Amino acid sequence: MLLAAMQAVTPDADAYAIARTDLRGVRLGVVRDFNGAGTNPDVEAELTRSLALLAQAGAELVDPIAIELPEQTGDAELEVLLYEFKTGIDAYLEAAGTTPGSLEALIEYNAEHAREVMPHFAQELFERALGAVDEAAYRDALAASQTTTRARLDELFAEDALDALVAPTNSPAWKTDWVNGDSFSLSSSDLAAVSGYPSVAVPSGLVRGLPIGIAFIGRPQSEAQLIEIAAVFERARGPFPEPEFLPTLEQ
């Protein structure tokens, strides 16, 4: 089943038909400037442990790798999100045949029923998406985010002859509250999300009972290789602890 899935994903799957038992000959670039890098000592410690496992499995680590995207890339990414959000929500609501039937109608409904549906938070992103950019501005924003990110990743893959990039996926799960909202502090998912390049993420360890992960990000059409790299890592990591029901998050 796995091989069939790999062949469906990429025409080069035959090159990886025999599952790897180690990572000899694989070059991995260690991303050190992901969002929130250096802010969580526990994540940094888990990353160090994960990198040691990869090295023990035979991988050659190129460390550090700095993505160094221009600051305006993030602003352009948000413009793309707002445009695609409005387009997607409108299409979804129209197909569902529901009421409200558009983002504009949904915003009006929320405003009219704010006490019931928005007792603690507003709908700022909804409202910003309502004034989404036109097609030309969307294409410009897409070029400033996706095209720039792809070009930079391609450059790094070529310069250092990398098979994949590696970075932590997340911090331990956080609490969402009425003051800070959804206050996540660490993520590397934008590299794959913005570029559209493949990424495989697997659990790497626990921090105070909460899972964190590691992501392998590759070139286009490298899904089969990423799956094998991730599989070797998981074998090196060993069985993951079964989930527990903790009495409290305060530890």
Q: Domains plus CATH for the chain?
A: 2-69+149-237 (3.90.1300.10), 72-139 (no CATH)
Please report the pLDDT score of residue 182 as a whole number.
74
206 vs 208: CA distance, rounded Å:
6
Angle at 149 between CA 90 and CA 174, to 5 degrees: 65
With beta carbons less than 8 A apart as the criterion, state whether 18 and 30 touch. no
With beta carbons less than 8 A apart as the criterion, state whether 144 and 73 touch. yes
227 vs 212: CA distance, rounded Å:
18
Q: What is the pLDDT along the chain (251 residues), one digit of tens a residue?
A: 333 333 444 444 444 445 778 999 999 999 999 988 888 899 999 999 999 999 999 999 999 999 988 877 888 888 888 888 998 999 999 999 989 999 999 999 999 999 999 998 889 999 988 876 678 888 888 888 888 899 999 999 999 999 999 999 988 887 777 777 777 778 899 899 999 999 999 999 998 888 999 999 999 999 999 999 999 999 999 998 888 887 876 65
Please report the pLDDT score of residue 9 as a whole number.
43
- pTM, two decimal places: 0.81
Angle between helices 223-237 and 41-56 (to 10 degrees): 100
251 vs 213: CA distance, rounded Å:
20
Per-residue 3-state assignment (H helix, E strand, C coil) for 108-119: HHHHHCHHHHCC
Please report the pLDDT score of residue 183 as a whole number.
72
